[in-house]
Structure 1
Amino acid sequence: MIPTLTTARLTLRAPTLADFEAHAAFRASDRAAFVGGPSDRSISWGHFAAIPGQWALRGYGRWLVADRDADAPLGIVGLHHPDDWPEPELAWTMYAAGEGRGVAQEAALAARAYAYDTLGWTTLMSFVDPANTRSMALALRLGCHPDGTHSHPQFGTFHVMRHPAPSEATQ
């Protein structure tokens, strides 16, 4: 049910039970502060299980991003749409092994192409926490422009970063 995408260096695929340890380690760290963490293993399991769950319920979702050669988990990227989000977002979360290597950008471009080319979407946004300078830098590298803010009762206020339309997006 979850399609597999490949790029030059990455495989975007369904998560497996073997990927949970990397996910739990990320969620337990201070690096998870921008996504509601740190979290214990029980809460981390719920977040992890929600990845395939959204695919089942909405027909789209996020992928586990893995190194194409070693199949090592590097992060989570894709189309995230919780019940209380106003619209789907292109979301990215990198584990320590995926940081600083251009992995998030490469995976986000593949996920955006899937949204536009396969799902036929005409618009896409990403929420960025104002304090998350690395995420904001990535949104700008992806060609996003500011499109207001969104206040969430649990996560606070996000910048809404609008992706280029399909006709303007480049790989």
Structure 2
Amino acid sequence: MTVDVDFHHGDTIDAVFPEADVRVQVGFAAPYAAAVNYGSDPHWPPLTPMVRWTNKLGWENYDLQEADSEDALWQKVDNRRAAGDPLPGAYHLAAHIAENGTKPMLYASDAFIEASQRGEKWLEGRGYDAETPVVEIARDFANWSLELANDNLVSRVSAASDGNLQRSAFPAKVIAK
């Protein structure tokens, strides 16, 4: 997921720094972030994130290791199935998604709406002055938006876990136009 925040010249801090036309790009490291945010139709997800998540939940994954390649994970599942052994929790979660899809969490969408609504108060509370580069303000705002998204993710998705989610967002990058 990517959010672009464009700063234009006008009655904002850009008037102080007219050369600072800035684009802030906010994204998520996890390739499945959009599916978690918006929900998804039924599909077979990769096992790697399923292993990571079910390990956090304390589900039994038998011999599946997070460090295994995707092919190795599926091979181990196929071997267990062929031997009539119980299948790992990660497989059961993937099968559930394959049958039902996922419901939207809107953790990022809601965070970016909240950030846009509270942005002016956020800016006032930061104490920036005319010497603060606009790129620093843009980066800080984008990272604050990502923190809101992470807070939403933890509260909405981890209710069944110990709440110890690994952060999926990466720091914002500022790209001058």
TM-score range, shorter chain: under 0.3
TM-score, normalising length: structure 1: 0.25
Q: Which has the higher contact order (CA 8 A, sep 6+)?
A: 2
Structure with more of its chain in helix, by fraction = 2
**Looking at CA atoms only, which structure, 1 or 2, has the larger radius of gyration?**
2
Query: Which of the pair is proportionally richer in strand?
Result: 1
